[in-house]
Structure 1
Amino acid sequence: MPKRTFYFVAGTAAGLGSSLWVQRRVRLAVERYVPEKVQERATEAAKRVAPAVRDAVTEGRDAMRAREDEMRADLAERVARPPSPARRRAG
């Protein structure tokens, strides 16, 4: 009889412990996806990414301005240079 009592108590303790563990895990998962928590995580992610995005935009603008300067210089050179004899005949 003591064996049965031991296994009954052990099984009850294991069942109770596992049900409490599962309940806790479910509660934490639900809290994780509450709108306020999702908003907090999105805000934190945006704050982490913002400097990289800002740097990328600045780098893109600088590259765009440099390329535009190259194109304007090329255009100014073409306009200032007299047409070659071959271009005069073709045009």
Structure 2
Amino acid sequence: MFRRTFWFTAGAAAGVWATTKVNRKIRQLTPESLAAQAANRAIEAGHRIKDFALDVRDGMAQREAELDEVLGLNADPELPPARRVAALENGGDPKHDKNPQYSKNPTYVERSTYSYNRNEDH
């Protein structure tokens, strides 16, 4: 009798445990739960990426300070004077650069092109 009671209790406990386990798994697989899990993992991944970027930025600043010290660039840097861009020959028109007949013929005058406006016809 004592053995039967033990095995009955063990079977009932196993049944309750299995039922609870299955119900938890079913709740985890609902669309709302899956969406919440995905959102949580995305947030965690975002935090890890942010931490990595901050570590990289700190490392870059540290390395730049080391290089500045080694190269003697710790003084306030002066900006170089502004550069002037030289005017291109033939006015910088790429058509003149590709086709030499335009630059050889000084009397050539390019026609002005009429820009077509599709709204004018209406």
TM-score (norm 2): 0.38
Q: CA RMSD in A?
A: 2.1
**Following TM superposition, where does structure 1 have runs of at least 4 consecutive aligned residues deviating by more than 2 angstroms?**
none
Where does residue 12 of structure 1 map in the other structure?
Answer: 8
Number of residue equivalences: 52
Residues 1:36 and 2:32 aligned together: yes
Among all aligned residue pairs of Structure 1 and Structure 2, give the percentage whose two residues are the same amino acid: 18
The 2-side partners of 1:10 and 1:43 are apart by 46
3-state SS, counterpart of residue 7 of structure 1: helix
- 1:47-86 counterparts in 2 under 5 A? 47-51=43-47, 52=49, 55=53
TM-score (norm 1): 0.50
Q: Which is helix-richer, 1 or 2?
A: 1
Alpha-carbon deviation of 1:47? 1.2
User: In the TM superposition, what whole-angstrom CA distance separates every residue of 1:17-43 from its partner, at most 9, and x where no partner exists?
Assistant: 101000011111111111111000101
Equivalent AA in structure 2 for residue 25 of structure 1 = K
Higher RCO, 1 or 2 (CA under 8 Å, sep at least 6)?
1
